[in-house]
């Protein structure tokens, strides 16, 4: 399906250009902004849906669709905004298309217009977040997403106050945070001079001195189905150019019976599924190795949207014994598992709170864990699949817990080798992190863990039910979810580099690799030292490293020891 969008800057004035664009490009859906009224538009083969402003010759939107939609909604349900005719929503089987013309604000506008714009942003964000299907949102957003989206001289000469630009961009980011992706930036993360609007002055369009104000935003799970995006910069008429995407959504049939679903699940070739997921993970690992974080993010989105990864997440959690969460749901039958795969979509996803459980272990000690509901465990497992190749690629060389193919026996072997012989270090620092899982700082994880920030924030802050009462979670993470060991490792990874950088500042060649060599199993840390004084310095460095992450040392278990003792 081809979906096009164009701020036409007055449909009566540019009717001929629109008809030519439709004839040349043949979009299946054409979203038009700033119609400034309604005219007779001869467009055979299209259903037309107009939403004009109550004020003449002002604002207005129009959608042309070859296919009759399931439903059409004019506006966002708030009268003071809808009188300007700024949004039309068409429902199709697999997703909604939302055509939007966001209110503009200029320095010469009255102060209440600025407030109108900012309040509109919040209301529109709420409207989009409540749509029950994935969405394609397109139109003129009257904001430049980043500094790459505006010609430098235009940024300097803009009549819009700098703080307003900041507020508009913040609101645009908040809109993306409901689970949307900027399609152009997903395809071209670093591209500059790709503008969609040029002011009518100084031959700006000829010299390509403009801004990117027009966008396609899609739900995260739809991004993998978008094949291309195009700006039609040679199309004249308006001060904006048209743009379009090609999207090919291939969804599972919704008319399958329970038996069909059971047969589908039972016929799945899990060896092939695991192979395909592994191929996607390998690509993520390669991008992480090259420090190409834009590509990492794109490939992670592709993985989490894929049927294979979603199916594998359900397969993994249903093949492990776990108590049910707050909803009491356990997926047991094949049709339940097949339906669960369909439910793993990030758009408008809200996790249930964890269920607190006090586990009495065989040694008589109590262990507190938070148990996620079934769907949430599967979502967490899905995003763990996208994070694990990054965690492995960026890990400290001699960390061994929760890493495939590494065991405690490997750790012991490395330790024996490091501490043996006449040149071996004389002292070791044994450090234990105090209440690691209870204390880890959410702020640090959200800022530094390379994964979908919105989903990570939801996993961390879902809340927990204890004895029937709901509590917020402001720090720490649950030991009972699959992503926690990855997050724990990534919080402590980098400690080896940190130690060497501070023990040997500015030196490419370390004086002694044995002094400051780190070995780690989960949050149990051992670091070698040449002298007692160096060991004390290493201990201070470890404490500083942990403090930035909201962590501290367990003083009872942390010590310095001579190897001879």
Active-site residue set: 101, 140
8 A C-beta contact, residue 274 and residue 282: no
Q: What are phi and psi of 171, to 5 degrees?
A: -65, -35
Q: Is 85 left (phi over 0), alpha (psi -120 to 50) or beta?
A: left
Q: Which of 369, 398, 389 is nearest to 493 (CA)?
A: 398
Helices (H) and strands (E) in the chain, counts: 20, 20
Instruction: Provide the H-helix boundaries in 370-517.
Output: 374-393, 408-418, 436-439, 442-448, 453-460, 484-492, 495-503
| Distance of alpha carbon 515 from alpha carbon 528, whole angstroms | 6
Query: Which residues, in sequence order, are CB contacts of 509 under 8 Å at separation 6+?
Result: none
For residue 93, what are its two tokens? 């089987």
* Dist CA 280 CA 446 (whole Å): 23
Please identify which residue in the block is written with the tokens 């929760």: 402
How far, in Å, CA of 444 to CA of 549, rounded?
6
Residue from 54, 61, 106, 50 nearest 83 by CA:
54
Per the structure block, which two tokens stand in for 218?
């899609």
Close Cβ partners of 154 (under 8 Å, ≥ 6 residues apart):
199, 204, 209, 210, 211
Integer Cα distance of 456 and 389 in angstroms: 16
Q: Judge whether 347 and 408 are in contact, CB under 8 Å.
A: no
- Cα separation, 504 vs 518, in Å, equals 15
Q: What are phi and psi of 170, to 5 degrees?
A: -60, -45
Give 145: exposed, middle or buried? Use CB within 10 Å, 0-12, 13-18, 19+.
Answer: buried
CA–CA dist 236, 274 (Å, integer): 50
Give the per-residue SS3 of 197-216: ECCCCCCCCCCCCCECCEEE
Phi, psi of 247 (to 5 degrees): -130, 130
For residue 357, the number of C-alpha atoms closer than 13 Å in the C-beta half-sphere is: 19
């Amino acid at each position: 399906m081809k979906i096009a969008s164009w701020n036409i800057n007055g449909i009566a004035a540019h009717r001929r250009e629109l008809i030519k664009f439709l004839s040349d490009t043949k979009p299946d859906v054409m979203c038009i902004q700033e119609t400034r009224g309604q005219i007779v538009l001869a467009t055979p083969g299209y259903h037309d849906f107009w939403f004009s402003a109550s004020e003449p010759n002002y604002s207005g939107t129009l959608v042309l669709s070859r296919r009759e939609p399931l439903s059409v909604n004019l506006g966002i349900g708030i009268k003071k905004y809808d009188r300007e005719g700024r949004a039309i929503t068409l429902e199709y089987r697999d997703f909604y298309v939302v055509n939007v013309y966001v209110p503009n604000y200029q320095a010469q506008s009255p102060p209440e217009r600025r407030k109108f714009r900012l309040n509109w942003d919040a209301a529109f964000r709420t409207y989009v977040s409540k749509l029950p299907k994935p969405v394609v949102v397109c139109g003129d957003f009257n904001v430049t997403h980043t500094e790459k989206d505006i010609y430098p001289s235009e940024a300097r000469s803009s009549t819009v106050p700098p703080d307003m630009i900041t507020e508009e961009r913040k609101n645009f980011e908040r809109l993306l945070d409901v689970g949307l992706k900027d399609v152009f930036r997903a395809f071209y993360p670093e591209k500059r001079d790709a503008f969609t609007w040029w002011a009518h002055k100084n031959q700006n369009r000829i010299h390509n001195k403009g801004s990117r104000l027009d966008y396609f935003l899609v739900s995260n799970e739809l991004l993998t189905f978008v094949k291309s995006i195009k700006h039609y910069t040679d199309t004249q008429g308006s001060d904006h150019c048209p743009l379009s995407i090609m999207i090919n959504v291939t969804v599972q049939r919704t008319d399958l019976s329970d038996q069909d679903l059971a047969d589908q699940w039972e016929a799945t070739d899990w060896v092939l599924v695991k192979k395909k997921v592994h191929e996607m993970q390998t690509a993520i690992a390669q991008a992480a190795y090259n420090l190409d974080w834009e590509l990492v993010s794109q490939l992670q989105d592709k993985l989490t949207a894929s049927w294979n990864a979603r199916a594998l997440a359900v397969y993994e959690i249903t093949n492990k014994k776990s108590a049910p969460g707050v909803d009491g749901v356990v997926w047991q039958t094949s049709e339940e598992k097949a339906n669960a795969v369909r439910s793993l979509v990030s758009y408008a996803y809200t996790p249930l709170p964890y269920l607190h459980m006090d586990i009495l272990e065989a040694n008589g000690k109590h262990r507190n864990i938070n148990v996620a509901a079934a769907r949430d465990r599967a979502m967490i497992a899905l995003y763990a699949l996208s994070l694990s190749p990054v965690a492995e690629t960026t890990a400290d060389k001699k960390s061994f817990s929760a890493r495939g193919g590494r065991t405690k026996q490997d750790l012991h072997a490395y330790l024996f080798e490091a501490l043996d012989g006449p040149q071996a270090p004389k002292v070791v620092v044994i450090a234990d992190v105090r209440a690691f899982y209870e204390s880890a700082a959410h702020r640090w994880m959200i800022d530094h863990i390379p994964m979908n920030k919105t989903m990570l924030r939801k996993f961390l802050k879902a809340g927990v039910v204890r004895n029937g009462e709901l509590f917020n979670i402001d720090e720490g993470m649950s030991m009972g979810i699959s992503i926690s060991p990855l997050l724990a490792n990534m919080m402590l990874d980098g400690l080896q580099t940190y130690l060497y950088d501070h023990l040997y500042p500015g030196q490419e060649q370390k004086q002694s690799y044995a002094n400051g060599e780190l070995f780690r199993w989960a949050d149990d840390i051992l670091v070698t030292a040449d002298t007692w004084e160096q060991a004390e310095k290493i201990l201070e460095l470890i404490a500083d490293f942990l403090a930035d992450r909201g962590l501290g040392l367990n003083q009872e278990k942390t010590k310095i020891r001579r190897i001879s003792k």
